[in-house]
Amino acid sequence: MRHAILALNAGSSSIKFGLYDLESSAGLQLVSRGALDLGDAPRLSAKAADGTVQCDRPLAGEARNAGIDALLDWIESELGGRKLVSAGHRIVHGGREFVEPVRLTPDVIEALDRLTPLAPLHQPRSLAPIRTLAALRPDLPQVGCFDTAFHQTIDPVVSRFALPRRYDAEGIRRYGFHGLSYEYIAGRLKEMSPALAAKRTIVAHLGNGASLCAMRDGRSVDTTMGFSALDGLVMGTRCGAIDPGVLLYFVLEAGVSAEALQHMLYEESGLLGISGISGDMRTLEASDDPHAREAVDLFAFRAAREAAALANTLGGLECLVFTAGIGERSAPVRKAICERLHWLGVAIDEPSNASHAGIINRPDSKVEIRVVATDEESVIARHTRVQGNAR
């Protein structure tokens, strides 16, 4: 029987997963990648590394538990009889304590649950499949990998808020997120060329959740998300950076409750709030509505403005990398951002950009511009192999 690692990446209505074979002569090798859709019509879908469809079927019963159980049965009964020896999870917030991958014991899970106020919507989604797996397979080792960990290298001048110092000691600071994606991109740049990895680089992780990371030598030196996943760029349904006086106005003058304000900022703002149509960039790009155009323009404007700020932290800009759903697939968004950064020496090649080439800068560009697909699940699997003592 072949042994395998399962990497889980939980979102609001789906769980992405990757299954990795431990017996391959090439090392940790992808066997299957798919998703558990946990909405109104639960579904399990998966494809092999070569794109061949392996599974696409509806699920019955209570969505999340039924989905995890069905995934385990499919892996162990139908997918070559593979036996899971460990499972790894993306966890959005590790706080100040969890700065590297860790085995998930009951005490650790409880400690992570206490961080929920720092990520009120994301942390419960991260922990739910961990608890489900623990109930279904109590002897299966599980490992947590943290989105905040990659940014532990940023300096205090970057991480600190201008608040009374006692609050920093309580954990009120800038953490940064999307760290597993940035860790993967840093590794890919090093594989391409050590000289490339050493450059002053901004990575744009642009998706429904979006942020930028300034890095050099594979280390994070600054990022746009801060204390929460609300900060920084305009996102699908999240507002991004906002004047705190606006929030005080909502609470003190408009009488908006804390719960209603949280829902507005996380679920009703961003591209959806501006356009009044959708938080999906593909829908907005296909729309003739002027509000859709305004939402796309604001998304690009804010990304370019934040990139300029990160270039200041780096002391210049030599490489710009686009990744994640919008970054990898939206040529118009990449073009709009790069045009606003022309003064920094960013010169995009429109034919290369339109064809989604790996390198999309003109020869005369002072900044190398790349499109690199991210792979958070492979990072989770690699850490899980080490921390879970899978072999």
Question: Helical H runs in 244-369?
Answer: 244-248, 258-267, 270-275, 281-285, 290-314, 324-329, 331-340, 350-354
Q: What would the two tokens of residue 220 be? A: 């994070």
What would you report as the CA-atom Rg of the chain, rounded to the nearest whole angstrom?
21
- Alpha-carbon gap, residue 42 to 59, rounded angstroms: 5
Largest CA distance in the chain: 64
Residue 318, judged by CB atoms within 10 A of its CB (0-12, 13-18, 19+), counts as middle
Question: Helical H runs in 137-269?
Answer: 156-159, 165-169, 179-192, 194-197, 244-248, 258-267
Q: What would the two tokens of residue 165 be? A: 């110092």
Among 209, 142, 148, 208, smallest CA distance to 182 is for 148
Is the CB of residue 127 less than 8 Å from the CB of residue 109? yes
Q: Name the active-site residue from 21, 37, 69, 147.
A: 147
Strand partners, 215: 201, 220
Residue type, 301: F
Q: What would the two tokens of residue 227 be? A: 């204390």
Question: Phi, psi at residue 266, to the nearest 5°?
Answer: -90, -35
Q: Which residues contact 65 (CB under 8 A, 6 or more apart)?
A: 132, 136
Give the β-pairing of 14-21 and 102-103.
unpaired
Q: 222 catalytic, yes or no?
A: no
* Residues with a known catalytic role: 147
